[in-house]
Amino acid sequence: EAQVTQNPRYLITVTGKKLTVTCSQNMNHEYMSWYRQDPGLGLRQIYYSMNVEVTDKGDVPEGYKVSRKEKRNFPLILESPSPNQTSLYFCASSLWGGPNNEQFFGPGTRLTVL
């Protein structure tokens, strides 16, 4: 089944403890992206990747890192999480980058930083 998977689905952590949220897609998509969803703000893009080893900042990149060493994986790294990073995170992928490509979304990761 074609899908985007994220792990973990739920995570509670404490301020300053490094964490990684994994994202993997099995559709051979070039483009991958991370969003955070907050009430009243919709989805805001954190980082995106047009291809392996190519990443760019989205609208809200502060406090996050990403890497794209393989086409299928695009992990999101929080080196020193803070409470304002408590949010619902979505990974997405599409065949190519560009404005006219449908993005496929993972199921989301709910992160709480205490």
Partner 1 sequence: AQSVTQPDIHITVSEGASLELRCNYSYGATPYLFWYVQSPGQGLQLLLKYFSGDTLVQGIKGFEAEFKRSQSSFNLRKPSVHWSDAAEYFCAVGTNNNDMRFGAGTRLTVKP
Residues that bind partner 1 (CB under 8 A): 4, 31, 33, 35, 40-45, 48, 50, 56, 58-59, 90, 92, 97-103, 105-108
Q: What does the DSSP assignment read for 69-85?
A: SSTTB--EEESS--GGG
Decide whether 35 or 64 has the Cβ nearer to partner 1. 35
Decide whether 75 or 106 has the Cβ nearer to partner 1. 106
Strands 104-105 and 19-25: unpaired
State in angstroms the smallest separation of the CB of 114 from partner 1. Answer: 22
Long-range contacts of 97-104 (CB under 8 A, 24+ apart): 97/30, 97/31, 97/48, 97/50, 101/31, 103/31, 103/33, 104/2, 104/3, 104/4, 104/25, 104/27, 104/29
Decide whether 23 or 113 has the Cβ nearer to partner 1. 23
Decide whether 42 or 69 has the Cβ nearer to partner 1. 42
State in angstroms the smallest separation of the CB of 18 from partner 1. Answer: 25
State in angstroms the smallest separation of the CB of 106 from partner 1. Answer: 6
